[in-house]
Amino acid sequence: MPRPDWAPESIDIERPSVARMYDYYLGGSHNFAVDRAAAQAMIAAVPEAPLMAQANRAFLRRAVQFLIDSGVRQFLDIGSGIPTVGNVHEIAQQAAPDARVVYIDVDPVAVAHSRQILAGNERATVLQEDLRNPARILDRPDVRKLLDFDKPIAVMIVAVLHFVPDSDDPSGIIATLRDALAPGSYLVLSQASDDGRRADERQEAEHVYQRTDNPLNVRSRAELTRLFDGFELIEPGLVWVPQWRPDSPESAEDAERAVFIGGVGRLGG
């Protein structure tokens, strides 16, 4: 099939990508037939998948707004995805034009499209890196140029940690990032959870994501809580994402259907 200009030569368009599947759940146009087929298989297994993506984006928006209101002006968004409506720099810079944002993703389509929409924005950039190499991310000159590690930074790991298996040591990854941050910094985390879900749904979802380069690693609330080691969880703690500081009580109804648990922690000191 013809390759559109937004698809770098390096990508395999015969294999589904989690970034492009997520783009499809959100109604985006940066996906191929192979991504749509995998996303539809996921929707057959877990019908809430598109709702899950929307609820997660809404959580991200409220979390960024909360951080801006709390005085944070620097954001390191890892696993930032293919840009869609309401990206971190848009929310942050609309409220605070001096806010600085570094996006990181492993997916070449996410990086290429982010680079395009960030052209001319001197306070935001994107780099292709892997969350599993946090030291490399921290060492990148562009990260150090844009972000001042002596001041608070919000590290966003939103809807990405379920692509990192326990064998890659997620708590060690977060500890490396945490140890580089100044007091008053924040961690924003969300990920798919199987709390209260049927075992067969989890198995089918895992089966779908086996087709991608990023198999799924769902986690319980207890496991996610441990990942906030060293951070103080902000109210209301780790909850189904629609329950995190909802815009209205109605928007938090049937929250467990969102599949994702999320929370925000603050580094004391």
Ligand X SMILES: C[S@@+](CC[C@H](N)C(=O)[O-])C[C@H]1O[C@@H](n2cnc3c(N)ncnc32)[C@H](O)[C@@H]1O
Q: Which residues bind ligand X (CB under 6 A)?
A: 18-19, 22, 56-57, 60, 78-81, 104-107, 110, 130-132, 158-160, 163-164, 214
CB 151, min distance to ligand X, A: 23
Q: Which is nearer to ligand X, 75 or 269 (CB)?
A: 75
Q: Which is nearer to ligand X, 139 or 268 (CB)?
A: 139
Residues in the chain: 269
Phi first, then psi: give them for residue 48, nearest 5 degrees.
Answer: -80, 5
Classify residue 167 by burial, with Cβ atoms within 10 Å: 0-12, 13-18, 19+: exposed
Q: Which is nearer to ligand X, 150 or 215 (CB)?
A: 215
CB 34, min distance to ligand X, A: 15
Residue nearest to ligand X (CB): 81
CB 226, min distance to ligand X, A: 20
CB 268, min distance to ligand X, A: 25
Specify whether the backbone of 245 is left (phi greater than 0), alpha (psi in -120 to 50) or beta: left
Q: Residue holding tokens 């993506």?
A: 53
Q: What is the spatial distance between Cα 24 and Cα 29, in angstroms, rounded to a whole number?
A: 7
Q: Which is nearer to ligand X, 79 or 152 (CB)?
A: 79
Q: Which is nearer to ligand X, 172 or 183 (CB)?
A: 172
Which of 86, 116, 113, 118 has its CA nearest to residue 102? 118
* CA 52 remoteness from chain centre: 13
CB 53, min distance to ligand X, A: 7
Q: Which is nearer to ligand X, 79 or 246 (CB)?
A: 79
Do 260 and 50 contact (CB within 8 A), yes or no?
no
CB 191, min distance to ligand X, A: 10
Name every residue whose Cβ is closer than 8 Å to that of residue 15 and which is 6 or more positions away in sequence.
Answer: 34, 211, 212, 213
